[in-house]
Chain A
Amino acid sequence: MKKTYKIDVDCANCANKMEEAAKNTAGVKNAVVNFMTLKMSVEFEEGQNVKAVMEEVRRNCKKVEDDCEVFL
C-alpha cells in the first residue's frame, strides 16, 4: 500500500535525510521525499499498521532533522 503525507522541512539536504530515515524504518518498503512539493510518499510492507509505522517514521525523521514535520 502507498500513501502520501504532507511534510514541512527547510532544506533539500534535510529532505534527503528524511527520505533515508523513512526508508530505514521497520515496516516501510520504500519512501520518496519530494522537497519541491513537500510531500512524502511511503510504500508500506504487507500487513503493517500504517498508523504505528508512520509514528515511527515521524520519530526517526525528527531524529535526523530536528526542524521537520510529517503531518499524519
Chain B
Amino acid sequence: MTKKQKKMLVRIFISAVLMVVLHFLPIKGYLRFFCYLVPYLVIGYDILLKAWKGIKNRQPFDESLLMALATVGAIAVAITGDGDYTEAVAVMLFYQVGEWFQSYAVGRSRKNISELMDIRPDYANIERDGNLERVDPDEVEIGSVIVVQPGEKVPIDGIILEGETTLNTSALTGESLPREAHAGDEVLSGCINMTGVLRLQTTKEFGESTASKILDLVENASSRKSKSEEFITKFARIYTPAVVYSAIALAVLPPLVRLSVFGLTADWGTWVYRALTFLVISCPCALVISIPLSFFAGLGGAGNAGVLIKGSNYMETLAQTKYVVFDKTGTLTQGVFEVEAVHHNKMEEERLLEYAALAESASSHPISKSLQRAYGRDIDRARVTDIQEISGNGVTAKVDGIFVAAGNDKLMRSLGIEPVSCHRAGTIIHMTIGGEYAGHIVISDIVKPQAKEAVASLKAAGVKKTVMLTGDAGKVADQVAKNLGIDQVYSELLPADKVEKVEELLGEKTEKERLAFVGDGINDAPVLSRADIGIAMGAMGSDAAIEAADVVLMDDDPMKIAKAIRISRKCLRIVYQNIWFAIGVKVICLILGAVGIANMWLAIFADVGVMIIAVLNAIRALFVKRL
C-alpha cells in the first residue's frame, strides 16, 4: 500500500465509525446537520476541492463534480426534508471505498505484471585484477568478458568462453524446462544461470540485448491502444457532460411541466432527489479503469507465457484471426534436414551412409551436413580423392579408390544409370558405388513434434483456414500438409511470391476476418508486415523479426500460436463483458432512477459495485496458464 492509500484507509475508517455512532445518537435539527458534516468532510473534502478546482480551470465535467453535486444536493434535500444525512455521507464514503479499491487493485496488478516480466538485470560482474566488480550493465562494452555466477541473471547477450551450466529461460520463453549450455554456446540476457559459473564474452550492448529489447516492447505494448479503449475514451468524453445536463433537465423539467401543464404541485424535492441519484449512477469509472486494466493484464499474462504482443490493438486483431498462413520452414518444421530413410540398398545402411558422407565431406550444404551427421563418426578425409561437385545435381568422388556418385536423378542418368524413384516425399540422394546403383537416401526437413497438434488446436480455436507457403517441391509440400491437416498449400514459391500469395489471401477473406502470417523471422519481414498480424516465432535474438512482427513467440513451439489467439480471445471477452455489464447496469439504474424506483443505495451499487466487479473481472485476464 502506498502512503496515499493508507491515509485514505484511515479516513474511510474514521468516517464509517462516526457514521455508525451518529446513527444511534438521538440528536435533532441543526446539531444533527453539523454532526453529520464531520464524517462527510473527513471522507469527502478532497473531492469537493477537486470539483471546485475543476470548475475554476474550466474542466468541470468529471467524477469529482458528479459526486460533489450529488452529495451536496442530497444534504440540501435532507435539510429541507426528512433530515436523513446518512445517504449523502454513504455515497461519498462508498465512492471513496471504490476509488481506494481501484487504486489498490491497479497498483497490485502493476506490481504483479512487472514481476512476471522481471528480466531486467541490475548489474554485470566484470573481472578486474582477479576481483569481481559489479558495474552498471549499460557501461559494459561489446566484447568485454563478464562473469555470471549461479543464481544470477545473464545481463547481456554473449558467448560462453568458459563454464558449463543449466539455464532457466522461463522468464524469456515461458518454458519451464531448463536448458543446458556449454562453452561456445550463445546465451541470451534475461536467462537465469542456475548451476555453474560462466565467463561470457558479450556480443551486444546492454541496450541492444534481448532482455532490454523485450522490456522495451512490453512496456510500450499497452501504449498502442485498441479500438475498445479508444471507444471508451471518446465515450467518457461525451458521456459525463451528457449525464450532467440530463440530470439538470430531470430536476427542472418535470416539475415545470407539472406546474404549467397539469396544474399540480411542483414536487421539487422528489425530482431533485431523482436527479441526484442519476448523477451517482452515471460515474463512468468502471469503464475507464476496467478496459485498459483488462488489456494490461492480458498482455502481461501473455508475456509470462512467452507470447509478446506488441499492443492492445494487436490483441484485438489476434482475437479475430480466421486465417493462419505458415511459412513452412522454421514454424511447422525445424528447418534442420535429417536423413529419414535409406531404400533399395544392397549393402548395409550404415555402409551406404558412410560412402555418402565421405563423398560429400567437402561440401557445407545443409544436405551434406545432414549426411555427415547421420554417419555420426569422424570423417577420414584421406580416404576420399577426386571430389567433383556438379552444381545443383550432386557429387562424384573416389572413396577408398572406388568411384562413388551421390546426387539427384539427373546425375544418375548422366552416368548412364537408371535410378529407382522414391514414393517418399523429401529430397532424394541416389547413390552409385563402383558403377552400380546402390540405393537412395531420403532426407527431409523434420516436422516439429507438436506441429500437428498445433494445427488442430488452431482449428479448435476457431481458425477457418490454415495455409502453408513453402519453397519446397510440390510433392514434399503436399505430403507435409496432409500429415499436419493443413487446408491449403502453395509450393515452389520464391520469397517474393510469398507476399503475393498473402495479398491474394487477404483479398479473399471478408472484412471482419483477420489473417495472421507465421514466420520464423528469417527473410520474411515483408510478409510479416503485410499480413493483418505478423507472428514471428523462435525469434529470441533475431532483431529483424522482433522489429517486423506484431506478435513475437519467444520459443519455437507452434502450440503457442493457438495459445496467443486464446489469450486474446479471453481478454477481449472480458473487455466486452465489462463494457456491456457496466453500461447495461448503468442504463437500467438510470431508467429506474429517472422513474423514481431506484434510491441512492441502488445508485451506489451501480457506481461502486459495478466498478469493483468490473475490476475483478479485468484481473482475470492475467490468468492464462491453463488456456
**Chain A residues within 8 Å of B, Cβ to Cβ:** 10-14, 16-17, 32, 34-39, 41, 63-64, 66-67
Closest partner residue, chain B, to A40 (CB atom): B223
Does B506 reach chain A (CB closer than 8 Å)? no
Across the interface, do A37 and B219 meet the contact criterion of CB distance under 8 Å? yes
Contact B225 A64 (CB under 8 A): no
Is B296 close to A, CB under 8 A?
yes
B497 at the interface (CB under 8 A from A): no
**Bitwise interface map of B from 273 to 310 toward A, beta carbon under 8 Å scored 1, else 0:** 00000000000110011001101100000000000000
Q: Shortest beta-carbon distance, A33 to chain B, in Å?
A: 8
Q: Which residue of A lies closest to B291 (CB)?
A: A12
The answer to whether B59 and A39 touch across the interface, beta carbons within 8 angstroms, is no
Interface of A is mostly: mixed
Closest Cβ of chain A to B293, distance in Å, is 7
List 13 contacting pairs A-B, 8 Å CB cutoff, sorted by A: A11-B63, A11-B285, A12-B285, A13-B63, A13-B284, A17-B59, A17-B62, A34-B223, A36-B110, A36-B292, A63-B57, A64-B57, A66-B54
Chain B residues within 8 Å of A38, by CB: 110
Further 19 A-B residue pairs, CB within 8 A, beyond A13-B236, A66-B57:
A11-B63, A12-B289, A12-B292, A13-B63, A14-B62, A16-B236, A16-B288, A17-B62, A34-B222, A34-B223, A35-B292, A36-B293, A37-B110, A37-B219, A37-B222, A39-B223, A41-B223, A64-B59, A66-B53
Asked if B53 contacts A12 (CB within 8 A), the reply is no
> In chain B, residues 102-129, which have Cβ atoms closer than 8 Å to a Cβ of chain A?
102-103, 106, 110
- In the assembled complex, the Cα of A36 lies from the Cα of B59 at a distance in Å of 23
* Distance between A5 CB and nearest chain B CB, rounded to angstroms: 12
3 A-B pairs with least C-beta separation: A36-B296, A12-B288, A12-B289
- Pairwise interchain contact B219-A39, C-beta atoms closer than 8 A: yes
Q: Do the beta carbons of B57 and A13 come within 8 Å of each other?
A: no
Q: Contact between B233 and A16 (Cβ–Cβ < 8 Å)?
A: yes
Query: For the complex, is B50 an interface residue (Cβ under 8 Å from A)?
Result: yes
B24-51 interface bits toward A, Cβ cutoff 8 Å, 1 = contact, 0 = none: 0000000000000000000000000010
**Nearest-Cβ distance from residue A16 to partner chain B, whole angstroms:** 5
Q: What is the predominant secondary structure among interface residues of chain B facing chain A?
A: helix
Residues in A whose Cβ lies below 8 Å from that of B223: 32, 34, 37, 39, 41
Q: Does B99 contact A (CB under 8 A)?
A: yes
Across the interface, A11 reaches (CB within 8 A) one of B110, B219, B237, B289, namely B289
| Minimum CB–CB distance for A39 against chain B, Å | 7
Residue in A37, A38, A41, A64 whose Cβ sees the most chain B Cβ within 10 Å: A37
Min CB distance B232 to A, Å, is 9
A36-B106 contact in complex given A16-B236, A66-B53, C-beta closer than 8 Å: yes
State the CA gap A63–B54 with chains docked (Å): 8
CB neighbours (8 Å) of B288 from chain A are 11-13, 16
Given A16-B288, A36-B293, decide whether A10 and B59 contact each other with a Cβ distance below 8 A: no
Residues of A within 8 A of B102 (CB): 11
B4 CB contacts on chain A under 8 angstroms: 10
Question: What B residues does A64 contact at CB under 8 A?
Answer: 57, 59
Task: Please judge, given known A-B contacts A16-B233, A37-B222, whether A66 and B292 are in contact too, CB under 8 Å.
Answer: no
**In the complex, what distance in Å separates the CA atom of A34 from the CA atom of B285?**
16
Known: A36-B106, A36-B292. A63 touches B222 (CB 8 A): no
Report the bound CA distance from A5 to B457 in whole Å: 42
CB distance from A63 to the nearest CB of B (A): 5
- In the complex, the answer to whether B296 meets A13 with C-beta atoms within 8 Å is no
